[in-house]
Each structure stands twice: as structure tokens, then as C-alpha cells.
Amino acid sequence: MKRDYPERPLVGIGVVIWRGEKALLVKRAKPPRAGQWSLPGGAQELVETVFAAARREAFEETGLRITVTGLVDVVDAIERDEAGRVRHHYTLIDVAAEAAPGEARAGSDAAAIRWVSLDDIAALELWDETARVIRLAARKRRA
């Protein structure tokens, strides 16, 4: 299915990857939100479970193996063009995960990667929903 001007929403997976008290962000190399800091993730593939998609996308974008620890939230990302037509519509399923040992590196879909603390988030230009999901994941992790 095409990503621009889709006939129905696409399912995307976002992963809040923790190492200690820091979460990993990627700078998106491709639309939507190209050039912005975001959660690692991408489109779910046919016959792939949500958690399997999270593990695959995390590895492709960061080179890290992860252990998924649970669901964080579900977010609708709808972007319209100047004429009001829906250019992108993703149903984003965000999960939390712990990073296995190893060095993170930017994969082909990521222009850069960065570990951030909760205090760092306020200084970054993040989509409001990305910041909210990271904070929610932190609260769930502490509970």
C-alpha cells in the first residue's frame, strides 16, 4: 500500500528503548517528519506481530537488540496537505523496551541517533506526542 495519500491508515510501530535512565531517539531520514527527532520504528509487515515489528525496526534503525517490556500507547498521526487531503495516516503502536548491551548506530532510515534523559526532552523539538509517549513510558517503567 502506498504511504502518501493512502486509502486507509497504515500501522506503524514506535519503540521507547531504555538504557539506564536514557531513551534512544533517531533523527528521521525519510518522510514523514524527515529531519525531526523521533522514536525508532516503522511500518509493521504482513504476518508480523507488533512486538516482532518493534524488535526488527529497532535493530534496523539502531543496530540494537531489544527486549520488549510492554505497550505504552496508541497514537493517530494524521497529516494533511494544503488542500486538506490526507497525505499520511498512521496508527502508531508505541511499545517500551530495554536495550541489550552493544553500541547503538544509525541505520539506513536514521540520519542520527541520540540517548536522551527526560530532562533533555524539553530542549528538543519533538512532536508533542513523541514527548508525551516517552514520559508515559517512563512513568509505566517506574510503576
Three-point CA angle 104, 139, 51, nearest 5°? 50
pTM comes to 0.93
Rg of the chain over all Cα atoms, to the nearest angstrom: 14
C-alpha cell at 86: 490526507
CB count within 10 Å of CB 111 equals: 15
Domain map of the chain by residue range?
A: 10-142
- Per residue of the chain (143 residues), give pLDDT as tens: 788 999 999 999 999 999 999 999 999 887 767 789 999 999 999 999 999 999 999 999 999 999 999 999 999 999 999 999 999 999 999 999 999 999 999 998 888 999 999 999 988 989 999 999 999 999 999 99
10-142, what's its fold?
Answer: Nucleoside Triphosphate Pyrophosphohydrolase (3.90.79)
Identify the sign of the CA torsion 24, 126, 107, 93: positive
